[in-house]
Structure 1
């Protein structure tokens, strides 16, 4: 192959470096314009998709095209690829934080309550003191760190910054991803296209304020450090790397229940290869995990073990429970299928990349193993109906790398790539670009299509806070389901109960005779505690869109309670209403 001496002289470096700027700046300007012209006060069943101003979609499309063109330019400054990816993360993960005045996701509010408990109690507590919520005190890593952050920032609670956690999480994942990918290639197109695909395919919603978000980043960090240890044999820094991944393993184990298991199966898969057959990382992780399970986490595992054993091997049941609710309505069904098709497309592209790039397949075999390793976990547990989504997420780093390989010409060394990129047929660039653009746009309905369920307006937050603040110790707050903000607020002194969690027979009894049945359920609360019944916008949206109860059924329950002499209205606004069971109703 000839050298580069026959090529025309290049332009000055500053000209090539500045060229990608207009597309990036215009895309971000369009995003900013969309943020000031989008109204989220009346979301429909498509969530944020139909609410977004058209300039958002134009900006996202321009950003994708600019990234693709910039990355394929052989003389582009290397800083532009990460600049475009950060721009993507801002448009993907910061949009909701900018548009919504309150944090999304009932689970994020639940985790805020756990942090608040640690700050209030000043210590970890067991089930005798806080019941089922003690499980979070048995894996306290994330919550203890957030409690420390709340103190450090001097804010009242984590709710004041947790809306920005998805963006923080996205940025946090970049370093381990880059370390992983750079272990197997120096082709910057492959590396950054893989990162881009990972970002747009990671729609499963585990980047909210949660232990999983941090544990997943730590998981990738362990794999990156372990794999780079083998990629740099004989270096004096081997002991330092071992110390780093050991610390990361400990952090994973004390932060999350599932992630250590995923890490173990990934390390076990690497152990099957000849080059990476080192038992030290695998054995160390197993020992640390077992030590934690047999000490701090033993109370929870002792209670949960029978159900865990029953679910082993039930792949069909574990997968089907991931779709236990039934999406109802055009918007919910459409966005659900868009999300599934996005994941399926990335996995299909990954298969194409494996078949199309034999050299890369051989060199990056560990990434292929990492992508396949989580699959056996489908036979281990349903993990509260979420195992299929967690498996997809843990497969994604490896799958995104090979999916990127499917969109690129033959991947060789960086020098060879630069030589061939000038003679690559121009027609080749359109189909991969369209695929990348389609995946990028599909992220929005996949990630934000259920925002009607996930968004709680300030009035709903105020309503729930008013109920919790007035509730005496040992009170009970009853609601249809837990999809509302502060659903676990003050759980160490106030109990919470959601009647849609009961068996269908009891739910049907409530639908037939709402006020009398609910009054009987709530009558066991002893004085000075009170029993409150809460109806809010988030409950109605979740119940309707997931096929639990219709809006009409919930309205009849509310109207029955409102007309009953057993209940008294104590709070209400545009987002909902709350009642208290009268003393005569006990």
Structure 2
């Protein structure tokens, strides 16, 4: 069977570059105007969606239409599709970096604290020193690399560049995605439309400053090497590398071929090591993917699977053993509990029109792409046959639902790992019947019916626009104004060693700052019984909780904009309850206000000796702490 191929242009492309360039430049100009005229000082329940200047939506719509007609036009030049995709990533991933004065996401700030710890300590430390935060020193690859980058750039911390990390990490995905897709087709329409759909459907937010962002790119890099360089020659004409020079490890014989294969094995090993020492989940996903390819008899070379499994197991039994030993009972209990593992992905209850709406838009976006992928599998039998390994890779993450909830995030991670394969077949559903090169040469390029142009364009436009609320609709939670950063920094910098910083939850910048010398406590992590005690008698209960701090340490209590947004929008506490807690503390003689600005206030417990005796039963107190 001949390979899928791009349809040859009817006429040369050289004279047809004006309108694609005009559409691309116009859309970027609209985006530039929008981001410079967007006010994020007072975000509502719809986050950035409600704050964006209308020209942003016009620019995004124009970019999508320009991409579609450039992709489908008979005079397309191969450079325009990647140019439009990069434009999409700029509009998707750089907007927040431009309009917000500080980096988003409390988790990104947490990872900045880990990098700061490595720079401060100069070495890895264990749980005796760091407590629960020692887990990051057991998977230090990403953080060590970022510490080196901070030194190399000569900046004070990773916070000075991590706002741009979503754009950087998304650009890193392009090369492995292209290599994977080009393994199964040379039709540029299909390849670049699949890349576009991947970017649009990848809303789950794992592109921020995190080990997962880099580990996922490395994961795709390993798969690209395996698919292109380890294809088994026994697959014959049906294998993905059949008829393709240089694709498939067994297709190259002799000493030169053996040397080249050794080079690819070394490269694969380096990528696997980087994944294993950086992230807990991605190596397991990679083993599952390679196992599916091997046992489905599409890639019979054992080297990738054995190499990955051995390196992963070796790390788990050495550096990661302390963490795994402590968490193994909980991990074993969650095995097989598919309903519980999936349900915890929506453990919080979105509250308010904006939170509920954006949550459903995100689910509909993912569901639509998956349904399109099913349609593509059914509609394109030739492609289904040729790209069966990619279909298997899309299904490989599903068993992870039975393994663990992964801190209530497994459903989002599984979706992300399914997406490269799903986007490929979803793109096939939006294109007309893909023909082989032989069929085109025999019959000529037939004009497409109008519905094959406009209906897919409408679907593509709807999905592209839906990305924005899916990705940025909860920015009221994720965004921290500069005043909030300054407030928390003021408290942490003045806190003596051994101090305790208390807050409602960890959704604020620098929530883990100086965690090697300052302890942190978030009372919404407690059992509901204890939270109810705090709501009932805020000042007295919090004073008792903070009274155990020994001098010279001090106990601080923070109320910030980010905490209030998270608690309110996720149904943890109402605004009235939060206001009651803060007013009780402000009026109590047990607390003294030590800092404050437009983003919140900070209080310190005057004296542990003045704290009242507990009123609740001992078992309730222990459950709360």
TM-score normalised by the shorter chain: which range applies?
Answer: over 0.9
Pairing 1:355–2:373 present = no
Tell me the CA shift for residue 9 of structure 1.
7.5
Deviations 1:310-339 (A, max 9, x none): 000000000000000000000000000000
CA contact (8 A) 2:10 2:75 kept: no
Provide the rounded CA distance (Å) in 2 between the counterparts of 1:238 and 1:416. Answer: 35
Provide the rounded CA distance (Å) in 2 between the counterparts of 1:446 and 1:9. Answer: 40
TM-score (norm 2): 0.91
Provide the rounded CA distance (Å) in 1 between the counterparts of 2:490 and 2:267. Answer: 46
Name 1:4's counterpart in structure 2.
none
Name 2:118's counterpart in structure 1.
118
Provide the rounded CA distance (Å) in 1 between the counterparts of 2:544 and 2:9. Answer: 86
Change (3 A) 1:417 1:264: farther
Name 2:617's counterpart in structure 1.
none
Pairing 1:277–2:278 present = no
Secondary structure, in 3 states, of the residue corresponding to 2:173?
helix
CA contact (8 A) 1:342 1:439 kept: yes
CA contact (8 A) 1:27 1:58 kept: yes
Tell me the CA shift for residue 202 of structure 1.
0.1
Pairing 1:194–2:184 present = no
- Which stretch shows the higher mean deviation, 225-234 or 527-536? 225-234
Change (3 A) 1:492 1:420: farther
Tell me the CA shift for residue 16 of structure 1.
2.2
Provide the rounded CA distance (Å) in 1 between the counterparts of 2:123 and 2:296. Answer: 44
Provide the rounded CA distance (Å) in 2 between the counterparts of 1:69 and 1:578. Answer: 55
Tell me the CA shift for residue 255 of structure 1.
0.6
Provide the rounded CA distance (Å) in 2 between the counterparts of 1:280 and 1:321. Answer: 36
Name 2:212's counterpart in structure 1.
212
Name 1:10's counterpart in structure 2.
11
Name 2:456's counterpart in structure 1.
432
Provide the rounded CA distance (Å) in 2 between the counterparts of 1:283 and 1:434. Answer: 45
CA RMSD of aligned residues (A): 1.4
Provide the rounded CA distance (Å) in 2 between the counterparts of 1:10 and 1:438. Answer: 32
Change (3 A) 1:407 1:157: same
Tell me the CA shift for residue 425 of structure 1.
1.5
Tell me the CA shift for residue 422 of structure 1.
4.8
Q: Which one of 494, 503, 507 corresponds to residue 518 of structure 2?
A: 494
Name 2:47's counterpart in structure 1.
47
- Count of aligned positions: 579
Deviations 1:201-229 (A, max 9, x none): 00000000000000000000000001101
Where in structure 2 are the equivalents of 1:240-279 lying within 5 Å?
240-279=263-302
CA contact (8 A) 1:191 1:401 kept: yes
CA contact (8 A) 2:110 2:513 kept: yes
Pairing 1:507–2:508 present = no
Name 1:142's counterpart in structure 2.
142
Name 2:595's counterpart in structure 1.
571
Provide the rounded CA distance (Å) in 2 between the counterparts of 1:273 and 1:465. Answer: 54
5+ residue gaps in structure 1? 1-6
Provide the rounded CA distance (Å) in 2 between the counterparts of 1:544 and 1:292. Answer: 40
Deviations 1:528-562 (A, max 9, x none): 00000000000000000000001110110001111
Tell me the CA shift for residue 48 of structure 1.
0.5
Secondary structure, in 3 states, of the residue corresponding to 1:19?
helix
- Which stretch shows the higher mean deviation, 231-240 or 15-24? 231-240
Name 2:5's counterpart in structure 1.
none
Pairing 1:369–2:392 present = yes
Provide the rounded CA distance (Å) in 2 between the counterparts of 1:82 and 1:415. Answer: 27
CA contact (8 A) 1:253 1:260 kept: yes
Pairing 1:542–2:566 present = yes
Name 1:392's counterpart in structure 2.
415
CA contact (8 A) 2:377 2:384 kept: yes
Tell me the CA shift for residue 239 of structure 1.
1.9
Provide the rounded CA distance (Å) in 2 between the counterparts of 1:415 and 1:204. Answer: 41
Name 1:97's counterpart in structure 2.
97
Provide the rounded CA distance (Å) in 1 between the counterparts of 2:228 and 2:195. Answer: 18
